[in-house]
């Protein structure tokens, strides 16, 4: 595997034009996300530069554009707020350390090839989680959108303060915020193809704030220091170490999900296939560097990636170009951002929040699946009002339990205890039915089919309890490809109980792997070696012969 991404110079014009266009799209979003997170506009810009450059250089998706995204910003906002509240002096430095930890975890995920598992979550959980993040981003922008400082208490505090915020609205700033939204929403498609609406909104909003509202009291970005950022060395606090590690895992996981979903979009547009594990390593390196430079965490961004591809980019040169263009802006033109109103940035971020909402699934979820809809709305509410980690954990747990229950119900019909041909089992041949008939109910055939997951232990126990007096038990595992621990123990109970009642036990069709498991449970000490057979008919013949011997002996 090559160390760097697929860098080619056979499409320089397309890649450079794509990179410049993506940089123009990134600039207003980076500023908006930096301000929204509490890190500041420079943190947003350096996040876009660092993650964008190193993810392009070392990642596994040539046309992917990486930068601070809405979901990553929402999580970073909570991390900054929590750590600065508990440790005002070092909280921000610790938040940047969490970004580095997130990058480190992403590299670990990539090295251990966990990329393919990261997105293996039920869609209802991903949809609820992403929509919840969208709602959080919208709620957090209400105060700056209306021209006021953010209330204390985070999302819940802002939500409860909405009536007060509306009552104390700052009209000039609210007008600028509304104008920003109107420009982004209603700009004609022809103009959108030429210039990103966010950039036009940024310029128009700033110009109007300086001319029409020149005398009004409007909160602005203010002065941004020019030059390279001071290095943020890793800072830890013994009391917050566990919180920082958990936040790092959460941020890293979210970055993986966000990135790999965007990489799939890039694949569909370019008809190529990304290297997910290599991409995670690239993202991890980018986030470590971003944390060191005091930048926001980033991930693959859908909007920037689509614009990049549509303007002709085909290789990682486009991502590198974009990062270098933004670096020039940071080093040379940062002073030009000073008069940008906070309300304009709030309008841009609010529109991102609206776009993150999974409108398609929100409209149709109740029609597709009532259970899926409940999970989605449950995860959404937990994400907004409780905790991101709790929301995903509970959502995945419930979704998996429901799936296992559904699979178990489908498979439980394949767990059968048959005593004679009147049971009318379609899987039995005529000869096998005749043999069971000859057994006169003294031969029991215990049939199992399909993977024996733990949810089937109840069905095995049910048939076990229905077991009546007999002379022989044939346990047929021919159609069982795998045997879980819980199901193994349930089968052990069946065999031990049969042995204790004096039944001769036959095991049929067990694979080598299943035989080893039964052997480890000590069951082959109870079963005669000749009674471990490959063929069900032969086992039934032996069992019927045993019944005749016992009858004759009686």
What is the per-residue pLDDT across 241-273, written as a single tens digit (0 to 9) for each? Answer: 999 999 999 999 999 989 998 998 888 888 888
Structure confidence at residue 1 as a pLDDT band (50, 70, 90)? very low
Mean local confidence (pLDDT), 93-108: 97
Structure confidence at residue 326 as a pLDDT band (50, 70, 90)? very high
Same domain, 59 and 159: yes
Out of 93-107, 314-328, 525-539, least confident range: 525-539
Using CA atoms in the order 33, 36, 41, 46, what is the torsion angle rounded to 10 degrees?
-40
96 has a pLDDT exceeding 90: yes
Residue 27 placed within a domain: no
Predicted local distance difference test score (pLDDT) of residue 448: 83
- Sign for the pseudo-dihedral over CA of 53, 59, 64, 70: negative
Predicted local distance difference test score (pLDDT) of residue 144: 93
Which distant-in-sequence residues (6+ apart) come within 8 Å of 164 by Cβ? Answer: 151
Among 83, 81, 155, 150, which Cα is nearest to 382's?
Answer: 155
Range among 31-40, 216-225, 408-417 rated most confident: 31-40
Which distant-in-sequence residues (6+ apart) come within 8 Å of 10 by Cβ? Answer: none
CATH number of the CATH domain containing 421 = 3.30.750.24
145 has a pLDDT exceeding 90: yes
Chain-centroid distance of CA 214 in Å reads: 46
333 has a pLDDT exceeding 80: no
Could you give the strand order of the β-sheet that contains 416-418, starting from the edge strand earlier in sequence?
416-418, 443-449, 472-479, 504-508, 532-533
The answer to whether 16 and 322 are in contact (CB under 8 A) is: no
The region that residue 147 occupies, defined by phi over 0 for left and psi between -120 and 50 for alpha, beta otherwise, is left
Structure confidence at residue 464 as a pLDDT band (50, 70, 90)? confident
**Domain-terminating residue out of 335, 353, 371:** 353
**Domain-terminating residue out of 353, 368, 394:** 353
Burial status of residue 380 (CB atoms within 10 A of its CB: 0-12, 13-18, 19 or more): buried
**H/E stretch holding 103:** helix 91-111
Mean local confidence (pLDDT), 328-348: 87
Q: How many independent structural domains does the chain possess? A: 2
Cα separation, 249 vs 98, whole angstroms = 9
Residue 272 placed within a domain: yes
Mean local confidence (pLDDT), 94-111: 96
Looking at per-residue confidence, does 44 or 448 come out higher?
44
Structure confidence at residue 216 as a pLDDT band (50, 70, 90)? confident
According to DSSP, the β-strands at 66-67 and 299-300 are: antiparallel
The answer to whether 252 and 292 are in contact (CB under 8 A) is: no
Residue 150 placed within a domain: yes
Same domain, 220 and 339: yes
Structure confidence at residue 31 as a pLDDT band (50, 70, 90)? very high
Mean local confidence (pLDDT), 477-486: 84
Mean pLDDT of the chain: 87
**Domain-terminating residue out of 338, 353, 368:** 353
- Give the number of other CB atoms < 10 A from CB of residue 449: 17
Cα separation, 100 vs 93, whole angstroms = 11
- Domain range holding 346? 35-353
Render pLDDT for 347-389 as a digit per residue (tens, 0 to 9): 999 999 999 898 988 888 888 888 889 999 999 999 998 887 7
Residue 420 placed within a domain: yes
Residue 26 placed within a domain: no
422 has a pLDDT exceeding 60: no
The answer to whether 341 and 220 are in contact (CB under 8 A) is: yes
Residue 400 placed within a domain: no
Cα separation, 522 vs 74, whole angstroms = 54
Cα separation, 346 vs 355, whole angstroms = 14
Residue 277 placed within a domain: yes
The answer to whether 353 and 135 are in contact (CB under 8 A) is: yes
Looking at residue 240, the DSSP 8-state letter turns out to be G
The answer to whether 240 and 83 are in contact (CB under 8 A) is: yes
Same domain, 260 and 165: yes
Range among 40-44, 104-108, 258-262 rated most confident: 104-108
Render pLDDT for 264-303 as a digit per residue (tens, 0 to 9): 888 888 888 889 999 999 999 999 999 999 999 999 998 8
The answer to whether 40 and 95 are in contact (CB under 8 A) is: no
Residue 320 placed within a domain: yes
The answer to whether 141 and 33 are in contact (CB under 8 A) is: no
Looking at per-residue confidence, does 393 or 204 come out higher?
204
Cα separation, 277 vs 38, whole angstroms = 31
209 has a pLDDT exceeding 90: yes
Same domain, 463 and 545: yes
486 has a pLDDT exceeding 70: yes
Among 227, 464, 229, 326, which Cα is nearest to 23's?
Answer: 326
Residue 236 corresponds to which tokens in the numbers above? Answer: 């830890």
Same domain, 302 and 448: no
Structure confidence at residue 544 as a pLDDT band (50, 70, 90)? confident
Range among 28-37, 148-157, 400-409 rated most confident: 28-37
Mean local confidence (pLDDT), 23-30: 90
Same domain, 243 and 345: yes
């Amino acid at each position: 595997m090559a160390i760097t991404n697929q860098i080619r110079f056979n499409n320089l014009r397309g890649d450079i034009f794509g990179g410049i266009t993506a940089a123009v799209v990134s600039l207003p979003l980076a500023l908006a996300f930096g301000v929204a997170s509490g890190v500041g506009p420079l943190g947003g810009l350096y996040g876009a530069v660092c993650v964008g450059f190193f993810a392009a250089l070392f990642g596994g998706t040539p046309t992917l554009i990486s930068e601070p995204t809405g979901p990553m910003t929402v999580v970073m906002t909570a991390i900054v707020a929590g750590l600065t509240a508990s440790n005002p002096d070092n909280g921000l430095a610790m938040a940047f350390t969490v970004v580095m930890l997130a990058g480190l975890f992403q590299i670990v995920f990539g090295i251990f090839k966990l990329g393919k598992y990261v997105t293996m979550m039920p869609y209802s959980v991903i949809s609820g989680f992403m929509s919840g993040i969208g709602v959080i981003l919208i709620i957090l922008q209400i105060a700056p959108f209306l021209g006021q400082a953010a209330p204390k208490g985070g999302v819940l505090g802002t939500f409860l303060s909405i009536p007060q915020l509306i009552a104390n609205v700052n009209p000039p700033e609210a007008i600028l915020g509304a104008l920003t939204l109107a420009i982004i929403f209603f700009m004609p498609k022809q103009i959108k193809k030429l210039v990103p609406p966010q950039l036009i909104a940024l310029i128009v909003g700033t110009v109007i704030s300086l001319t029409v509202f020149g005398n009004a009291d409007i909160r602005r970005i203010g002065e941004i220091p020019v030059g390279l950022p001071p290095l943020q060395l890793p800072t830890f606090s013994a009391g917050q170490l566990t919180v920082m590690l958990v936040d790092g895992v959460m941020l890293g996981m979210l970055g993986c999900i966000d990135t790999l979903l965007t990489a799939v979009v890039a694949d569909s547009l370019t008809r190529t296939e990304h290297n997910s594990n290599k991409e995670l390593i690239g993202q991890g390196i980018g986030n470590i560097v971003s944390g060191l430079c005091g930048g926001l965490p980033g991930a693959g961004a859908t909007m920037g990636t689509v614009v990049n591809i549509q303007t002709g980019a085909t290789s990682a040169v486009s991502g590198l170009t974009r990062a270098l263009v933004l670096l020039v802006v940071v080093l040379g033109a940062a002073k030009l951002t000073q008069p940008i109103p906070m309300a304009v940035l709030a309008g841009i971020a609010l529109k991102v929040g609206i776009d993150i909402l999974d409108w398609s699934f929100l409209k149709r979820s109740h029609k597709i699946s009532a259970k899926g809809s409940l999970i989605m709305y449950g995860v959404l509410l937990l994400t907004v009002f409780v905790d991101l980690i709790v929301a995903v954990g509970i959502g995945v747990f419930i979704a998996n339990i429901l799936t296992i229950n559904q699979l178990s119900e489908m498979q439980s019909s394949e767990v059968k205890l048959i005593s004679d041909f009147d049971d009318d089992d379609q899987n039995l041949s005529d000869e096998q039915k005749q043999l069971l008939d000859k057994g006169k109910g003294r031969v029991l055939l215990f049939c199992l089919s399909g993977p024996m997951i733990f949810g089937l232990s109840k069905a095995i126990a049910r048939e076990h309890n229905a077991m009546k007096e007999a002379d022989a038990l044939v346990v047929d595992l021919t159609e069982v490809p795998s045997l879980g621990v819980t199901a193994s123990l349930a089968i052990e109970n069946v065999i031990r109980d049969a042995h204790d009642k004096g039944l001769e036990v036959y095991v049929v069709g067990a694979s080598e792997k299943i035989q080893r498991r039964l052997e480890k449970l000590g069951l082959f000490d109870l079963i005669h070696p000749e009674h471990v057979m490959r063929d069900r008919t032969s086992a039934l013949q032996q069992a019927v012969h045993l019944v005749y011997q016992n009858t004759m002996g009686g």
